Amino acid sequence: MSSLRARTAIVAAADTKVGAVPEMSATQLCVDAACRAIEAAGIGKEQVDGLLTCNAMAEPYMYHAEMIAEYLQIFPRYCMSIGAGGGTTFALVHHAATAIANGLCDTVLIATADAMRSGLSKERAFALMSSAGHPQFESPYGPSIPAFYALIAQAHMHAYGTTPEQLAAVAVNARDYASRNPAAQKREPITIDDVLASRMIADPLHVLDCSLVSDGGAAIILTSAERARDFPGEPVYLLGAGEGHSHEHISQARSLTTSAAVESGQRAYTMAGLGPRDIDVAELYDCFTPVLLIELEDLGFCDKGAAGEFVLAGELGPGGSLPTNTHGGLLAHCHPGNPGSMFSLTEAVRQLRGESCNQVAGAEVALAHAQGGIMSSHATLILGTEATR
C-alpha cells in the first residue's frame, strides 16, 4: 500500500461536557459526541459510511459500534469497536485512515465515551480497583494501577536521577493550561509543593501525580483528503501514524524505562517525513506523571533520561520549546478511561485551526500520542494544516 501521508483529513472534532456528568449515561455521551461531530461537519448522518467506537466500561455492549449505529439508525459499510486501552483512540484513527485509503469507506465517524465517574456500579468500580493486572501472576500480590506506574517511575528515577519534583512539574503544567480552559474538570492552579504534599498512593506517586476519573465523550470525522475540501471546516491532515505494541503486563515488559513509543514515533515520523523538531505542539498521554516523561524521551523531544529537567525548565508551558497538553490532559482536563486521548486529538485539531483556548501561535504541525494498558500499546499521530501537505 502506498503511504497514508496526507491521504485523509479530520473535518470535524467535538467534545461533550466532561468531568462529572451524572445526567448522562455512557451511551448518551457517545451519541452526544457523535451528533456534535456530525453537526460540526455539516453533513447528514446518511453520509457516515464508517463507524468506529470503543466499548464503555460503564455500559458495555457485546457489539458496541453496531449498538451506536443502531441507536442513530445509520447503516455503515465499515463498523467496528476497538479496544487498546488508552491507545485506542489513535489506533482507531490509524485503522480509519487505512480503510479510507483502501476504499472500504469514505467518511468515518469515530465516537468514544465513558462514564467512569458517575456510571459505574459500586460492584464494578470495586472490581476494577481490586483486580488490576495478570489474574494469576500479578493480582494476588495486591497491586493497583497506580502501583504499576509507580514501578516505572522508580525505575526511571533510579536509572536517570529523575526526581519527585520533576514528576510533579508535569502535573503543574497540566493544571496551568487547564486553568485557562473553561471545559476542564480541574482548573485551580497547583504548585510542585502541592503535588508533593498530596497523599501518597504508591511511592513515588502522589494523588496529584494521578489522572482524573471522569465522564465524557469526544468524536471526530475523518474523510479522504479529496473530499475534505467539500466540508465547511478547515481540514486537518493526517501526515503520519504509527503503532508499537510490546506487552500486556508490566512485569513482562522488555524495559521499564523505554517504551514502544520509540517504534510508534519512528513509524509516524517516517510516514510524515518529519522529526521531533518539526512539532509545534504536542498532546501526550499523561495518565500518570512519569508516563509523559518517558514519552518525551522515546518520541525524541529530549535525550533519554533528560525529560525531568526538560519539564522542570518549563519547556512544555506557553512559550516553551514544546507546548504540551494545552487542554490540560488527563491530569487536569478529564480522563473517562479508554476514550481519554480523544480529547488530545480534538485539542490538536483546535490548535491547528487556531481555535484553542491556549493557542500556540502559528501551530502548523501537532503530534498526539497515546498509550494503553501499562505502557503496553502505543500509537502516535502527526497532524498538519493545509500548508504542511
**Contact residues: other proteins, CB under 8 A:** 126, 129-144, 147, 150-152, 154-155, 158, 199-205, 249-252, 256
Nearest-10 crossing angle of helices 289-298, 164-178: 100
Q: How far is the CB of 249 from other proteins (least distance, A)?
A: 8
- Closer by beta carbon to other proteins, 142 or else 232: 142
Query: DSSP string covering 122-162, please?
Result: HHHHHHHHH--S-TTTTGGG---HHHHHHHHHHHHHHHH--
Q: How far is the CB of 276 from other proteins (least distance, A)?
A: 27
CA separation, residue 206 to residues 149, 168, 211, 246, 284 (Å) = 11, 9, 11, 27, 20
Cβ-proximal residues to 39 (8 Å cutoff; 6+ apart), any chain: 14
Query: Measured from the CB atom, is 70 or 203 closer to other proteins?
Result: 203
- Residue with smaller CB distance to other proteins, 248 or 386: 248
Quote the CA–CA distance of 291 and 370 in Å, as a whole number. 10
**Residue 210 C-beta: closest distance to other proteins, Å:** 11
Q: For residues 92 and 196, what is the distance between their CA atoms, to the nearest angstrom?
A: 36
> Least distance to other proteins from the beta carbon of 213, Å?
14
Q: Closer to other proteins at the Cβ: 3 or 131?
A: 131
Count of alpha carbons within 13 angstroms of residue 93, beta-carbon side:
39
Choose between 3 and 139: whose C-beta lies nearer to other proteins: 139
Phi, psi for 111 (deg, rounded to 5): -130, 125
Give the nearer residue to other proteins in terms of CB position, either 20 or 155.
155
361 CB-side CA count, 13 A: 4
| CA 202, chain centre distance (Å) | 24
Using the 8-state DSSP alphabet, how is residue 102 labeled?
T
Comparing CB distances to other proteins, the nearer of 2 and 136 is 136
Nearer to other proteins, 102 or 130 (CB): 130
Least distance CB 26 / other proteins (angstroms): 24
Residue 127 has a CB neighbour count (10 Å cut-off) of 11
Instruction: Report whether 360 contacts 280 (CB < 8 A).
Output: yes
Shortest distance in whole angstroms from residue 207 CB to other proteins: 9
d(CA 268, CA 282): 14
The nearest distance, CB 200 to other proteins, in angstroms, is 5
Q: How far is the CB of 389 from other proteins (least distance, A)?
A: 43
CB distance 338 to 114 below 8 Å: yes
